């Protein structure tokens, strides 16, 4: 077999469609827990704190698995790793659907978290088997369908759990994952390994996992850390030690988990910086807008119930779903730099406008939709730019780090928002002061705007 990087077989539309179907199914399975937490807490007799643990278990696993999956896909072939990864996810869905108690359900969520690693593997495959222009659009389509699947899972979880049972809300997406995986196996051409003899960097993997776990732990405790300086200091010291150890190991490893020379390139690290800033701004709006809808109508809020809030947020969910294909097509047509600049500008203006204009429901509905659309376009353009700025053998590793940065950015934004609202709530009252929301929107806009400083760096030495 030839050793060049040209794809041995060109993937057809059916193969890309199979990846899209898998993205929808995994997105749906990922999203069913959050809207049904009250039901799960009631049926499994678990506390709100245990419910919070359940809601972030999949996220933590995904953050750990994604860079590993991307790295293994680069070395041993994206299709080969994806099929094995989906076997783990399917097992997790089965465990979750049969879970009689919280420990078993947590095990299922841990296994399901491997699904996040399917994204960089999909990017490996479309880049390997499609021309550059078509692969940019395909990356956007797969990303958008994953978001769309999340929207579908959010909408179907409650009715399925209440109409059938909580078991079926896990079982239905799991069945779809199994079917989609079979289609990928049948339709997607195999991609030959690029580094089949390379050893796995176990020390680097362990240290990177420690860094991500420490970050996620610190973010989950963010509202309490201000009152616990010793804990905050210990976490910072541990994080610094793990990071220093990881950098030392990766520099000396003959086959590093992450090539630090690649990560140090301006177009690479700037992509991570932009992704983080954009996701922080997005997460703040995702957290604040529903809270603002729920504030009592006697004050500055709207007194909306869960059904109303879900209806108000639907346009934003639709905008997020179409943003992936739109971002991929726009990056192909205008270049990633122009797309990201326009998206950041739109996001910044919208967030600052929501700080001033939030006295009517439509203000927030339109604002949330614009933020979701601009954010999705930016992140997709970042993934496209990162994927096309590295050689084929590093596609999975580079894009997986973008996705991990996305997770960390969302987690950081949500925790910062929660801390703002908690600080803005007077003792003896249920609702935060309006100024807490205003401050949150302004800070989100400022953080998003700062990412423009990295956009110019992103374009250095990279073709459009």
Q: 295-336 pLDDT, tens per residue?
A: 877 777 788 776 677 778 788 878 887 887 788 778 778 887
Nearest to 356 by CA among 240, 291, 438: 438
Nearest to 325 by CA among 337, 314, 315, 333: 333
- Delineate the domains of the chain, giving CATH numbers in brackets: 13-187 (1.20.1250.20), 202-256 (no CATH), 258-458 (1.20.1250.20)
Q: What is the pTM of this model?
A: 0.75
Find the range with the poorest average confidence among 32-36, 349-353, 389-393: 389-393
Half-sphere exposure of 342 (CA within 13 A, CB side): 14
Q: What percent of the chain has pLDDT over 70?
A: 84
Q: 346-382 pLDDT, tens per residue?
A: 999 999 999 998 888 899 999 989 998 898 888 888 8
Contacting residues for 358 by C-beta, under 8 A, at least 6 apart: 292, 300, 364, 367, 437, 441
Q: 118-153 pLDDT, tens per residue?
A: 888 888 787 777 776 677 777 777 877 887 788 788
Contacting residues for 114 by C-beta, under 8 A, at least 6 apart: 61, 62, 65, 69, 85, 88, 89, 92
Distance CA(141)–CA(329), nearest Å, equals: 9
* Cβ atoms within 10 Å, residue 46: 18
Cβ proximity of 397 and 204 under 8 Å: no
Q: 223-252 pLDDT, tens per residue?
A: 566 667 777 788 888 888 988 888 888 788
Cβ proximity of 327 and 393 under 8 Å: no
Q: What local confidence, expressed as pLDDT, does residue 352 receive?
A: 94
Q: What percent of the chain has pLDDT over 90?
A: 11
Q: What is the dihedral of CA 258, 259, 260, 266, to 10 degrees?
A: -110
Q: 441-450 pLDDT, tens per residue?
A: 999 999 999 8
Distance CA(371)–CA(346), nearest Å, equals: 8
Nearest to 57 by CA among 112, 115, 116, 119: 112
Nearest to 198 by CA among 263, 246, 253: 253
* Cβ atoms within 10 Å, residue 103: 10
Any alpha helices (H) in 257-360, and if so which ranges?
A: 260-263, 266-294, 306-334, 336-356
Q: 61-84 pLDDT, tens per residue?
A: 777 787 778 777 777 777 888 889
State the DSSP string of 282-300: HHHHHHHHHHHHHS-TTTT
Q: What local confidence, expressed as pLDDT, does residue 195 receive?
A: 63
Per mean pLDDT, which of 201-210, 262-271, 394-403, 451-460 is the most reliable? Answer: 201-210
Distance CA(389)–CA(127), nearest Å, equals: 12
Contacting residues for 351 by C-beta, under 8 A, at least 6 apart: 281, 284, 285, 367, 371, 441, 442, 444, 445, 448
> Phi/psi zone of residue 451: left (φ > 0), alpha (ψ -120 to 50 degrees), beta?
alpha
CA-to-CA dists, residue 4 to 8, 192, 396, 451, angstroms: 9, 10, 18, 37
Token readout for 451 is 């990412």
Name the helix (H) or strand (E) containing 117. none
């Amino acid at each position: 077999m030839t050793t060049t990087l040209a794809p041995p077989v060109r993937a057809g539309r059916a193969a890309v469609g199979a990846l899209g179907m898998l993205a929808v199914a995994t997105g749906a399975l990922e999203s069913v827990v959050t809207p049904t937490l009250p039901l799960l807490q009631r049926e499994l007799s678990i506390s709100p704190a245990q419910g919070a643990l359940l809601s972030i278990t999949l996220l933590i696993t995904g953050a750990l698995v994604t860079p590993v999956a991307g790295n293994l896909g680069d070395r041993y072939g994206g299709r080969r790793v994806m099929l094995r990864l989906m076997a783990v996810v399917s097992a997790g869905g089965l465990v979750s659907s049969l879970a009689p108690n919280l420990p078993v359900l947590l095990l299922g969520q841990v296994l399901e978290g491997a699904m996040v690693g399917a994204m960089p593997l999909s990017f490996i495959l479309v880049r390997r088997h499609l021309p550059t222009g078509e692969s940019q659009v395909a990356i956007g389509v797969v990303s958008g369908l994953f978001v769309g699947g999340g929207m579908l899972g959010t909408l179907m979880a409650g009715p399925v759990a209440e109409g059938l049972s909580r078991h079926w809300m896990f079982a239905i997406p799991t069945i779809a994952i199994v079917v989609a995986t079979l289609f990928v196996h049948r339709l997607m051409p195999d991609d030959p390994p690029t580094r089949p003899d390379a050893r796995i960097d176990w020390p680097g993997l362990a240290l990177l996992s420690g860094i991500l776990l420490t970050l996620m732990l610190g973010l989950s405790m963010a509202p309490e850390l201000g009152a616990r300086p010793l804990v905050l200091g210990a976490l910072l010291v541990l994080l610094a030690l793990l990071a220093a150890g990881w950098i030392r190991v990766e520099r000396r490893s003959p086959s590093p988990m992450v090539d630090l020379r690649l990560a140090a390139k301006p177009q690479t690290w700037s992509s991570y910086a932009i992704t983080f800033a954009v996701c922080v701004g997005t997460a703040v709006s995702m957290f604040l807008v529903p809270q603002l809808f729920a504030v009592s109508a006697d004050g500055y809020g709207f007194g909306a119930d869960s059904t109303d809030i879900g209806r108000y947020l639907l346009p934003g969910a639709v905008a997020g779903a179409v943003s992936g294909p739109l971002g991929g097509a726009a990056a192909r047509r205008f270049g990633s730099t122009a797309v990201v600049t326009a998206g950041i500008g739109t996001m910044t203006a919208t967030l600052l406008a929501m700080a001033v204009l939030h006295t009517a429901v439509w203000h927030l509905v339109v604002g949330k939709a614009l933020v979701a659309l601009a954010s999705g376009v930016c992140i997709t353009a970042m993934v496209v730019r990162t994927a096309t700025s590295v050689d084929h053998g590093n596609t999975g590793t580079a894009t997986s780090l973008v996705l991990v940065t996305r997770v960390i950015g969302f987690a950081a934004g949500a925790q910062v928002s929660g801390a703002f609202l908690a600080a803005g709530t007077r003792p003896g009252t249920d609702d935060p002061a309006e100024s807490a929301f205003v401050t949150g929107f302004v800070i989100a806009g400022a953080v998003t705007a700062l990412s423009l400083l990295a956009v110019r760096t992103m374009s250095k030495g990279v073709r459009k």
